[in-house]
Amino acid sequence: MSCRLSVNLNKIAVLRNSRGGGEPDILRAAATCLDAGADGITVHPRPDARHTRHDDVMALAALTRARGVEFNLEGNPFAPPREGYAGFLALCEMVRPAQATLVPDADAQLTSDHGFDFARDADALAPLVRRLKALGCRVSLFADAGCDIAAAAATGTDRIELYTGPWAEAHAAGRGDAVLPAFAATARAAHGAGLGVNAGHDLSQANLGAFLAAVPGVDEVSIGHALIGEALYEGLATTVSRYLAILRAA
């Protein structure tokens, strides 16, 4: 099966929230991506509601369910609930996403910038993984290249999601070949442990093809920031189609 594309719509919500009101419409953006062939939709609602909000999660869950496509909900399962944010596991209980991606981002982080330390976090993650799987969610854990795959697998997770920020940075600097072996080795180790492999963060049209050519068996990429930025120039449907062409070529 070829690698699947899930479009992260957080940046649509950022633009909407900067002005207030309902434009741009995150549901219309999701429908446009799906009409263009995207395999699913991703959002990462944060406790401070800086972009995707509780109501967005509910609406996108309904849309993806009606379309028969996957909804991938990302979040930090250890972040406490607060006004306007029910908590990651509570959101998953409400909408039963096809995939729940657990990410160790602190409230103050601008964006996710590292994976779990599985040697340290596996015992705490394991019961959360069980709860999510009991809801029918496929579970993915955000992971750095070179992470402890045995400890990750011990949590009972279905997949890891490789944090590709270091690859994107190295590729832009002309030294991508130096970091690819670690990503490829981690993917192979995950497959050997029975885990699927996703990838995401700063992937773009410029660096996606080379990554997939070097890293075996990537099941899904989640792309938002670059895709939405590129779409400002070329349109959302055209940009999604170009990503899908890269995935087919890989």
Catalytic option among 44, 161, 171, 230 = 44
- The answer to whether 194 touches 231, Cβ cutoff 8 Å, is no
- For the range 229-235, what are the long-range contacts, defined as Cβ-Cβ under 8 Å and sequence gap of 24 or more? 229/11, 230/204, 230/205
Catalytic option among 171, 201, 220, 230 = 201
**d(C-alpha 100, C-alpha 92), whole Å:** 7
74 has catalytic annotation: yes
3-class SS shares of the chain: helix, strand, coil, % to 5: 50, 15, 35
Task: Give, rounded to a whole angstrom, the gap between the first and last alpha carbons of the chain.
Answer: 11
- Shortest CA distance to 30 belongs to which of 50, 53, 10, 49? 10
Strand partners, 162: 143, 199
- Residue 61's H or E segment, with its range, is helix 54-67
Catalytic option among 51, 70, 74, 161 = 74
The alpha carbon of 228 is separated from its chain's Cα centroid by a whole number of angstroms, namely 14
201 has catalytic annotation: yes
Active-site positions read 44, 74, 201
